Amino acid sequence: MENQSRITIKEILEKKRKGEKITMLTAYDYSLATLIDKAGIDMILVGDSLANVVLGLESTREVGMAEMLHHTKAVNRAVKKALLVGDMPFGSYQKDTKTAVANARRFVDEAGCNAVKLEWFDGCLEVTEAIIKAGVAVMGHIGLTPQAVEDKKGFKVQGKDAESAKGLIAHAKELEKAGCFGIVLECVPDLVAQMVTKQLKIPTIGIGAGLFCDGQVLVAHDILGLFDRFRPKFAKEYINLNKLALEAIIRYRDEVVNGAFPDEAHSFTIKKEELERLK
Ligand code: KIV
């Protein structure tokens, strides 16, 4: 169901025009999405990083439409103001245009998304155009595209030499021409990201792409210190909730073991007369 009070794509484009920074975070469930939305983040991405962060899998290639839709529906129930973007999982848009369009529409029709994101691959321009023609807004994703990386060693900064940087700029322009309303730039040198940003009318949303992008996206679990299996250099931790949560869980365990929990405040009582009748 389309939520009328959500930020629109027009407003996101307007932010770039006015030079206002755009904020974006991932969410995969109702409770965290509620907080992110309340905080006034412009866009929420149900990222396929769901695979690593929530499902404990090794690669983003391991999640499919079923998992993505399941989590996106939960996030959708929470989101009132942010623009909701669904990340199309590996295999859902690369095979053929018809399947890609059908899957993109599922993110909107079944899971309440306002847009989808897809990673660059040979043939993505045709797919992007077809999805947009079918009425679904598309965000591109270039630079490091995790779905194309087979192992952790492949997680490298992209566009570090003039040739590959030129390639990135060309891809960004092609995605803009194809109709994307924004592009995620992942792991790109800051000055290359600045060049891309300056040459586009649509916003660039950086992740490990420096300060000159029009906006920033990070994995919420990284900024909250909720995921420590690996942490890329660009992921700034604003609080370590893992540490606080572990302390709380240990206190709970200890209180159950030593009989301090549940106390009166967390228990229910029965009236004396009812207890007598019961006896
Ligand atoms: O899945 C993801 O987390 C992403 C990033 C760009 C945030 O695609």
Q: Tens of pLDDT along 208-241?
A: 999 999 999 999 999 999 999 988 999 999 999 9
Instruction: Tell me which residue has its CA closest to atom 8 in ligand 1.
Output: 47
Across residues 75-95, what is the average pLDDT? 98
Cα-to-centroid distance, 130 and ligand 1 (Å): 23
Residue 2 has pLDDT above 60, yes or no: no
- Residues that are catalytic: 186
Q: Are residues 32 and 158 in the same domain?
A: yes
pLDDT at residue 152 in the model: 65
Quote the percentage of the chain above a pLDDT of 90: 95
* Structural tokens at position 55: 């499902």
Indicate if the pLDDT at residue 66 is higher than 60. yes
- Provide the Cα torsion 215, 220, 222, 224; round to 10°: 120
pLDDT reported for residue 150: 75
Residue 160 and residue 264 in one domain:
no
Looking at the structure, tell me whether residues 133 and 270 fall in a common domain.
no
Q: Report the nearest atom of ligand 1 relative to the CA of 141.
A: 6
pLDDT of residue 154: 77
Distant-in-sequence, close-in-space partners of 261: CB < 8 Å, separation ≥ 6? 252, 255
Q: Please give the distance, rounded to the nearest whole angstrom, from the Cα atom of residue 47 to the centre of ligand 1.
A: 5
Is pLDDT above 50 for 1? no
The alpha carbon of 146 and the centre of ligand 1 are apart by a number of angstroms equal to: 9
151 with 183, same domain? Answer: yes
Considering the entire predicted model, what is its pTM?
Answer: 0.96
Within a domain: residue 2? no
User: Is residue 259 packed enough to be buried (19+ CB in 10 Å), middle (13-18) or exposed (0-12)?
Assistant: exposed
Count structural domains, the chain: 2
Within this chain, do residues 249 and 148 fall inside the same structural domain, yes or no?
Answer: no
Q: Are residues 233 and 255 in the same domain?
A: no
Backbone angles phi, psi at 167, to 5 degrees: -60, -45
pLDDT at 3 over 60: no
CA pair distance 175, 125, nearest whole angstrom: 7
- Is 52 inside any structural domain? yes
Q: Is residue 1 part of a domain?
A: no
In a domain, 3, yes or no: no
Q: Which residues of 104-123 are buried (b: 16+ CB within 10 A; e: fewer)?
A: bbbbbeebbbbbbbbbbeee
Same domain for 155 and 101, yes or no, is yes
Where does the pLDDT of residue 85 fall: very low under 50, low under 70, confident under 90, or very high at 90 and above? very high
Q: Identify the pLDDT of residue 88.
A: 98
pLDDT for res 190: 98
CA distances from 187 to 106, 160, 245 (A): 29, 10, 30
Ligand 1 atom closest to Cα of 146? Answer: 8
Banded model confidence at residue 188, pLDDT cuts 50, 70, 90: very high
Which of 117, 185, 219 best tests ligand 1's pocket when mutated (most atoms within 8 Å of CB)? Answer: 219
For range 13-35, the mean pLDDT: 98
Structure confidence at residue 153 (pLDDT):
66
Nearest CA to ligand 1 atom 5: 47
Do 179 and 93 lie in one domain? The reply is yes
On whether both 170 and 45 belong to a single domain, the answer is: yes
The enclosing domain of 186 has a CATH number of 3.20.20.60
Residue 81: helix, strand or coil by DSSP? coil
**Is-contact 81 6, C-beta < 8 A?**
yes
- Structural domain includes residue 36: yes
Q: What is the pLDDT of residues 138-165, one digit of tens each?
A: 999 999 999 998 766 679 999 999 999 9
Q: For 251-260, what is each residue's pLDDT tens digit?
A: 999 999 999 9
Average pLDDT of the segment spanning 57-78? 97
**Domain-located, residue 57:** yes
Ligand 1: residues within 6 Å at CB? 26, 45, 47-49, 87, 184, 186, 207, 217, 219
Q: What is the Cα 224 distance to its own chain's centre?
A: 14
Q: Is residue 255 part of a domain?
A: yes
259: domain range?
244-278
55 and 116 inside one domain: yes
Q: Is the pLDDT score of 23 beyond 50?
A: yes
In three-state secondary structure terms, 2 is coil
Same domain, 209 and 135: yes
Distance CA 183, CA 224 (A): 24
Q: Is 65 within the bounds of a domain?
A: yes
| Residue 50 alpha carbon, nearest atom of ligand 1 | 1
CB 169 within 8 A of CB 204: no
Q: Within this chain, do residues 60 and 87 fall inside the same structural domain, yes or no?
A: yes
Share of the chain above pLDDT 70, in %: 97
Cα separation, 207 vs 214, whole angstroms: 11
